[in-house]
A and B are shown apart, each in its own frame.
Chain A
Amino acid sequence: MEKTEIIAALEAAGIEHDKRQAAEKLAALLPGNGVQAVVVRDFWPTDDEEDRVCAGQVITVSKDDLISGLEKGTLARVK
């Protein structure tokens, strides 16, 4: 199911949500897609300074990376 289909389904069900936010949340739950996470502490996925991921950013990560980030305290779930 694509994002547009999810939005259409929400509209058809009469659910009033921020379309983009709802679509992203639902899309993240689909198998094979990443999940949204908030960066709590700056981290460096690679050795390159340019790749610095700053606190406050919302990023899409795999479920495994989210679990690892939650354990390290570098990521938090998007509320």
Chain B
Amino acid sequence: MAVIANTFVSTSAKGNREQLSDVVSRIDPEETPIYSLIGKTTFSGTHPEWETDSLSAPADNVQAEGDDYSFGATTPAVRVGNYTQIMRKEGIISGTQDATDNAGSVEQVKYQKLKKGVELRRDVEYSIVAANASVAGATRKSGSLSSWITTNVSRGATGANGGYNSGTGLTVAPTNGTQRAFTKTIMDTVMQQAAVSGAKLKHVVGSHYIKSVFVTFMSDANVASFRYAAAAGGKNEIIATADVYAGPFGRVFVHENYVQSSAAALARNVFFIDPDMIEWGWFRKIKEDKDVAKTGDAQKFVLLGEGALKVNSEKGLGVAADVYGLTSST
């Protein structure tokens, strides 16, 4: 085969239009499971505080006939608090670029604002699932979920709880222990502790790897096997997933969290949540700062929010820490 002389081919053309698609693919997940699950509240300052109370332990209560009354001390509620964290995303795009016909409009201000808004929401999720203490002062930091939970906990060897320190008014970051595999025993242990504490857990949130390990629990000797009818000649399905765990100490939905799967430090914790026990509070809801001064031939934008995690009662939550969250050994 040969091309006949002087056939004009496309590689010699000067005026062919570019074929840049207007469809821009962005598949990065936007889901923020914990932030979406929990309630939202508003704060009126940078150091929101609240109280938690508890019942005294049950005791033998037997009184003598005709006995005079005696009055025990009243135990005050425990006052705890967190610090609001300022989160911000910004961008600047030249006037020319903003006016240019742009494939998918991805390099234009309107699209960028939308994208940064989604990114900010993922940063809120990050601040919930990270393992950091609360920080007071000008560069405040919201104490993360794992820095609060101290009662319903399973940790690896040499691991230690964080917790709220009433002396400093700050939460303490937990100490990492030796990582181990996530098992049904660990899950049941935390759920048992939570049940004894009075928690009503409804959700379990961990990395994608944790979800894949959870699915293998269906092979446990103490778990009822799935049985599905196979239709002759039909398109039958292999069922290799499960989303709900009905264990001896409650029934929970298991969610995978994209934010936790993004880093080993986040993936090592599995959170057990009763959404009534935590809230995200906004002191300043995420919004655009409309007063950013325009200088030069460019459009600037700043999205900003300030909020903190409010843990109504840490006893209503749980964490299985120090588990392999990315692979079978990390």
Residues of A whose CB lies within 8 Å of any CB of B are 41-47, 49, 55, 72-74
Interface contact A42-B180, CB-CB below 8 Å: no
Q: Please, how many angstroms separate the alpha-carbon atoms of A49 and B177 in the complex?
A: 13
In the complex where A43-B160, A43-B161 touch, is A72 in contact with B175 (Cβ < 8 A)?
A: yes
Most chain B CB neighbours (cut-off 10 Å) among A43, A45, A73: A43
Interface contact B150-A41, CB-CB below 8 Å: yes
- B175-197 vs A, CB cutoff 8 Å, 1 = contact: the mask equals 10110100000000100000000
Listed from nearest, the 7 A-B pairs whose CB atoms lie closest are A43-B160, A42-B161, A47-B157, A41-B161, A74-B160, A44-B155, A46-B157
Query: In chain B, residues 125-159, which have Cβ atoms closer than 8 Å to a Cβ of chain A?
Result: 150, 153-159
By size class, the interface of chain B is 10 to 19
Contacts of B159 in A (CB 8 A): 43-44
B165 CB → nearest A CB, Å: 9
Q: Which of B154, B157, B163, B180 contacts A41, CB < 8 Å?
A: B163
Contacts of A45 in B (CB 8 A): 157-158
Q: Which of A42, A44, A72 contacts B157, CB < 8 Å?
A: A44
In the complex where A43-B159, A43-B160, A49-B189 touch, is A74 in contact with B154 (Cβ < 8 A)?
A: no
Q: Please, how many angstroms separate the alpha-carbon atoms of A45 and B156 in the complex?
A: 8
What are 5 sample pairs from A and B whose C-beta atoms fall under 8 A apart? A41-B150, A44-B155, A47-B156, A72-B175, A74-B175
B325 CB → nearest A CB, Å: 16
Residue B162, interface by CB 8 Å: yes
Interface contact A42-B189, CB-CB below 8 Å: no
Q: Please, how many angstroms separate the alpha-carbon atoms of A42 and B189 in the complex?
A: 16
Residue B311, interface by CB 8 Å: no
Residue B172, interface by CB 8 Å: yes
In the complex where A41-B150, A42-B153, A74-B175 touch, is A47 in contact with B160 (Cβ < 8 A)?
A: no
Q: Please, how many angstroms separate the alpha-carbon atoms of A41 and B159 in the complex?
A: 10
Q: Please, how many angstroms separate the alpha-carbon atoms of A41 and B150 in the complex?
A: 8
In the complex where A47-B180, A72-B175, A74-B175 touch, is A41 in contact with B160 (Cβ < 8 A)?
A: yes
Interface contact B158-A41, CB-CB below 8 Å: no
A4 CB → nearest B CB, Å: 36
Task: Name the residue of chain B whose CB is nearest to the CB of A51.
Answer: B157
Q: Which of B162, B163, B172, B177 contacts A44, CB < 8 Å?
A: B177
Query: In chain B, residues 236-287, which have Cβ atoms closer than 8 Å to a Cβ of chain A?
Result: none
Q: A43-B160, A43-B175, A73-B175 are in contact. List 6 more A-B contacts (CB 8 A).
A: A41-B160, A41-B161, A41-B162, A49-B154, A55-B150, A55-B161
A75 CB → nearest B CB, Å: 10
Contacts of A41 in B (CB 8 A): 150, 160-163, 172, 175
A14 CB → nearest B CB, Å: 37
Contacts of B158 in A (CB 8 A): 43-45
Contacts of A42 in B (CB 8 A): 150, 153, 160-161
Interface contact A44-B189, CB-CB below 8 Å: no
Task: Name the residue of chain B whose CB is nearest to the CB of A43.
Answer: B160
Contacts of A43 in B (CB 8 A): 155, 158-161, 175
Task: Name the residue of chain A whose CB is nearest to the CB of B192.
Answer: A49
